[in-house]
Structure 1
Amino acid sequence: MLDTEPVFDPAIAVRPAKLADGRDLIYFDDVDTTLDAARSVDARTLDPRPANAHMRQDPLTGEWVSIAAARQNRVMLPPAHLDPLAPQTPDNPSEIPSVYDVAVFENRSPSFGPALAEPDASDAEALADLRRIGLERTKTSIGRCEVVCFSPAHEGSFGSLSRSRARTVIEAWAHRTAALSALPGVQEVFPFENRGREIGVTLPHPHGQIYSYPYITPRTERLLAAIDDYGPTLMGDILERERNGPRVLLSGEHWTAFVPFAARWPIEVHLLPHRHVPDFAATTLDERDELAGLYLQLLRGIDKLYDSPTPYIAA
């Protein structure tokens, strides 16, 4: 739990809206935006949203797998004039009705949600039940999945953004982390960006996603178990050791990027804040300001390693 309420940048305007089928759409305007406050209404006629996905438990690992059949119908590498993340035009009935700087909306075919837990449901009881092993166990995939559009451009990634735009995306991550963490039944909020066809990206449009899970993900469970075994200073001790060692790539007043001692991938970088924070919503404005520059520098440096853009999963 946070001791204080999240602080958001008042210079980055937040403009809530709705899509034609009732899904949430939120615009975030750059500090130096050239857009006015007015936004177009989504006047499309849309089919009802697909049925909520369901989860199945793998009894060999205890992990829950979301079965979301509706995702088979999602757009796959469309031509630029039919980009579903670009602003709507008469010839392109996309998901976003207005020109924008950064836009966040509910995924039409999510792996989790839009159903949520009952408001008075116990998180502790829900997690205990999820950890119990059984055969052919199923549950509703409650939660929320959102798409974060970094730019109205048809192609690009976080690394191709201006510093002002990168700062707006980071502010959107903080806003949405706070809002999604408060939803009934959400146990973990996970903003990420996948880049490159090589890892299965289906849209070249610069964007990321936010998954709000009804459980604590297996990797996070293992991390929490490691902290329980080592002690609460684990992350701070790792950071201190790395900052005094040979694997640091970038460092600022608030953040350090380094190659971890036990890296498992040909390219793996960890970017840590210099103090304990639970999530993006708990970062300060100064921390977000510095992160915008450092993260851009990191991603652009990784792209200089090869002749073609480096595919990655950034989380």
Structure 2
Amino acid sequence: MFEYPHRRYNQLTDEWVLVSPQRTDRPWQGQVEKIPSDQRPIYDPHCYLCPGNQRAGGASNPNYESTFVFTNDFSALVPNPPEGGEIPPQLLKTSPVRGTCRVICFSPRHDLTMREMPKEDIRRLVNVWAEQIGELGEKYRWVQIFENKGALMGSSNPHPHGQIWASDQLPNEPWKEEQQQKRYFEENGSLLLIDYVKLEQQQEERVVVENNNWIALVPFWAVWPFEILLLPKRHVLRLPDLSDEERDDLASLMKELLTKYDRLFDNPFSYSMGWHGAPNDEADYAHWQLHAHYYPPLLRSATVRKFIVGYELLAEVQRDLTAEQAAKRLREI
């Protein structure tokens, strides 16, 4: 099925994806990544994120014993930026952005990825995510929780950690999801992502793992080779709205999914992931559904990655294997 070049429509962002499955066997003489070492100490005295160590900005970490959150010493967003100067209004536009950036150290241990953490510690991390959304959402319209895992995805420190960027503006990707979910709701009277989950459960081709409250699947319109869309099965707006049972099941499913990722190429699997929930303001967001995206770069082995270049940058994104093929490989691990 779908073993021919075709385009797939992304209902969530109103974009098209070119799928060229016949390209998976092409010869490769391009860049080959080094396999990262998986040997790290429990504590690294030179790590900026380990308990008790001094950070690059000069501050010192407390001797934390669980998840630890602090304001980024080199924040890309600040609460009170200076006002911009005057520019011509028609062709050039600018808008000041207020915000803040935080770092989340998942664990005091330097040697553990999220997959390797005990499920109880992942569950506590889910609580911290929800608390941060609740706190920052009182002041900022958008709160982006994300993790860059591995040097391939730009992580500058191997200590298990993520980030939170909060801003008073709605960024591009959430804005597209806002428009599409709202339009679908107005046209159909139902939720885009809830309807999509029901369809995926019926077809079963792209579902990777699921439990009582959550489902993880390779979306029909996926761009990255082993991309995952993670969703609760009931209508949920934001992380703080999750019940205790849903938080338990989320921790279990993430550990199972990340284990599959690491086993795919028998190597620590790099990815960028992040949560998208309803914006935090007084508008009606009944059309929104909480979800997380996982974007992993590895294509055919631990050393060959997917590049977004050439046609992808100048025309539209393209993928080299179908979502069904990717889901099958992950599911069967």
Alignment of 1:58-77 (within 5 A): none
Quote the residue 2:97 is aligned against: 141
The whole-number CA distance in structure 2 between the counterparts of 1:145 and 1:91 is 15
Alignment of 1:123-162 (within 5 A): 134-162=90-118
Quote the residue 1:105 is aligned against: 70
1:278 aligns with 2:243: no
The whole-number CA distance in structure 2 between the counterparts of 1:89 and 1:95 is 6
**Secondary structure, in 3 states, of the residue corresponding to 1:240?**
helix
Check 1:226–1:141 CA distance in 2 against 1; reply closer, same or farther (3 A cut).
closer
Quote the offset at 1:213 in angstroms. Answer: 2.1
Quote the residue 2:154 is aligned against: 200
Quote the residue 1:235 is aligned against: 193
Check 1:293–1:91 CA distance in 2 against 1; reply closer, same or farther (3 A cut).
closer
Check 1:96–1:135 CA distance in 2 against 1; reply closer, same or farther (3 A cut).
farther
Q: Which has the higher contact order (CA 8 A, sep 6+)?
A: 2
Check 1:309–1:82 CA distance in 2 against 1; reply closer, same or farther (3 A cut).
same
The whole-number CA distance in structure 2 between the counterparts of 1:181 and 1:88 is 30
**Secondary structure, in 3 states, of the residue corresponding to 1:304?**
helix
Query: Which deviates more from structure 2 when the two are superposed, residues 172-181 or residues 205-214?
Result: 205-214
Quote the residue 2:292 is aligned against: none
**Secondary structure, in 3 states, of the residue corresponding to 2:144?**
strand
Quote the offset at 1:134 in angstroms. Answer: 4.7
**Secondary structure, in 3 states, of the residue corresponding to 1:244?**
helix
Q: Is the 8 A contact 2:209 2:217 kept in 1?
A: yes
Quote the offset at 1:214 in angstroms. Answer: 2.1
Quote the offset at 1:99 in angstroms. Answer: 3.0
Quote the offset at 1:139 in angstroms. Answer: 4.2
Check 1:296–1:261 CA distance in 2 against 1; reply closer, same or farther (3 A cut).
same
Residue identity opposite 2:154 in structure 1: G
Quote the residue 1:19 is aligned against: none
Q: Is the 8 A contact 1:88 1:94 kept in 2?
A: no
Quote the residue 1:80 is aligned against: 44
Check 1:170–1:134 CA distance in 2 against 1; reply closer, same or farther (3 A cut).
farther
2:206 to 247, 269, 276: 247
**Secondary structure, in 3 states, of the residue corresponding to 2:164?**
strand
Q: Is the 8 A contact 2:77 2:101 kept in 1?
A: yes
Q: CA offsets per residue over residues 160-219 of structure 1, 9 Å max, x none?
A: 211010001000000010000001xx1111111111111211000000011112211211
Query: Which deviates more from structure 2 when the two are superposed, residues 159-168 or residues 224-233?
Result: 224-233
Check 1:91–1:303 CA distance in 2 against 1; reply closer, same or farther (3 A cut).
closer
Alignment of 1:1-315 (within 5 A): 80-88=44-52, 95-115=60-80, 134-183=90-139, 186-231=140-185, 232-245=190-203, 246-315=205-274
Q: CA offsets per residue over residues 247-272 of structure 1, 9 Å max, x none?
A: 11111111111111111111111111
Check 1:91–1:134 CA distance in 2 against 1; reply closer, same or farther (3 A cut).
closer
Residue identity opposite 1:86 in structure 2: C
The whole-number CA distance in structure 1 between the counterparts of 2:250 and 2:81 is 32
Q: Is the 8 A contact 2:75 2:100 kept in 1?
A: yes
The whole-number CA distance in structure 2 between the counterparts of 1:179 and 1:277 is 18
Quote the offset at 1:308 in angstroms. Answer: 2.2
Check 1:168–1:237 CA distance in 2 against 1; reply closer, same or farther (3 A cut).
same
Gaps of at least 5 residues in structure 1 are: 1-78, 118-132
Q: CA offsets per residue over residues 20-77 of structure 1, 9 Å max, x none?
A: xxxxxxxxxxxxxxxxxxxxxxxxxxxxxxxxxxxxxxxxxxxxxxxxxxxxxxxxxx
Residue identity opposite 1:273 in structure 2: P
The whole-number CA distance in structure 2 between the counterparts of 1:202 and 1:307 is 23
Quote the offset at 1:221 in angstroms. Answer: 1.4
**Secondary structure, in 3 states, of the residue corresponding to 1:221?**
helix
- The number of equivalent residue pairs is 221
Residue identity opposite 2:48 in structure 1: P
Check 1:203–1:261 CA distance in 2 against 1; reply closer, same or farther (3 A cut).
same
Taking every aligned residue pair, what percent have the same amino acid on both sides? 31
The CA RMSD measured in Å over matched residues stands at 2.5
TM-score, normalization by structure 2: 0.62
Quote the residue 2:85 is aligned against: none
TM-score, normalization by structure 1: 0.65
Residue identity opposite 1:88 in structure 2: G
**Secondary structure, in 3 states, of the residue corresponding to 2:245?**
helix
